[in-house]
Structure 1
Amino acid sequence: MSLSVNGIVIDSRTLAEEIDHHRDVADPEIAAQRALVTRELLRQRARELKLLGETALGDISDEALVDALFARDVQVRRPTMDECRAYFAEHAAQFRQGDRVQASHILFALSGAVPLAATLARAQEALDAVLVEPALFEGLARRLSDCPSGREGGSLGMLMRGHSVAPEFELVLFSGDRLGIVPRLVNTRYGFHIVRIERRVKGHMPAFEAVAERIAAELYHQARQRALRHYVALLAGAADISGTAGPSFLQ
Structure 2
Amino acid sequence: MTPLLSDVTVNGEAISAAAIADEAQNHPAPKAKPGLAWVAAARALAIRALLLQEAARRGLTPDPQAVAEGQVETADEALIRQLLDEALDPVAPSDADLRAAYEAAPDRWRAPTLYEAAHILLPVRPGDAEGLAAVQAQATALLAQITKDPRAFEALARSNSACPSGQSGGRLGQLISGDTVPEFEAAMDALTEGEIAATPVATRYGLHILRLDARAIGDVLPYESVAPRIQEMLEKAAWANAARDFVTQLSEQATVTGVKLNAA
**TM-score in terms of structure 1 length:** 0.59
1:88 aligns with 2:102: yes
* Aligned AA (1:53): T
Q: Deviations over 1:6-60 (max 9, x none)?
A: 122222333223222221677322222222112111111111011x325589424
State whether structure 2 residue 11 is matched by structure 1 residue 6: yes
Aligned residues between the structures: 206
Equivalent position to 1:17, from 18, 22, 30: 22
Identity of aligned pairs, percent? Answer: 24
Contact 2:43 2:261 in 1 (8 A): no
Runs of at least 5 residues in structure 1 that lack an aligned partner in the other structure:
112-118, 120-137, 143-150, 182-187, 191-195
Alignment of 1:14-163 (within 5 A): 14-23=19-28, 27-50=36-59, 52-53=60-61, 55=63, 58-61=74-77, 65-66=80-81, 68-100=82-114, 139=140, 160-163=176-179
Instruction: Give me the whole-angstrom Cα distance separating, in 1, the residues matched to 2:243 and 2:62.
Output: 25
1: CA distance, partners of 2:257 / 2:215: 50
Alignment of 1:183-202 (within 5 A): 201-202=216-217
State the one-letter code of the partner of 1:161.
S
Give yes or no for contact 2:102–2:223 (8 Å, CA) kept in 1: yes
CA deviation after TM superposition for structure 1 residue 3, in Å: 1.7
Q: What TM-score, normalized to structure 2?
A: 0.57
Which letter maps to 1:230? D
Say what the alpha-carbon RMSD is for the aligned residues: 4.8
Alignment equivalent of 1:221, drawn from 224, 227, 236? 236
Rounded to whole Å, the distance in 1 between the matches of 2:107 and 2:211 is 17
Give the match for residue 147 of structure 1: none
Structure 2: segments with no counterpart, 5+ residues: 1-5, 65-72, 130-138, 144-159, 162-169, 198-202, 205-209
- 3-state SS in 2 of match to 1:204: coil
Alpha-carbon offset, residue 236 of structure 1: 0.7
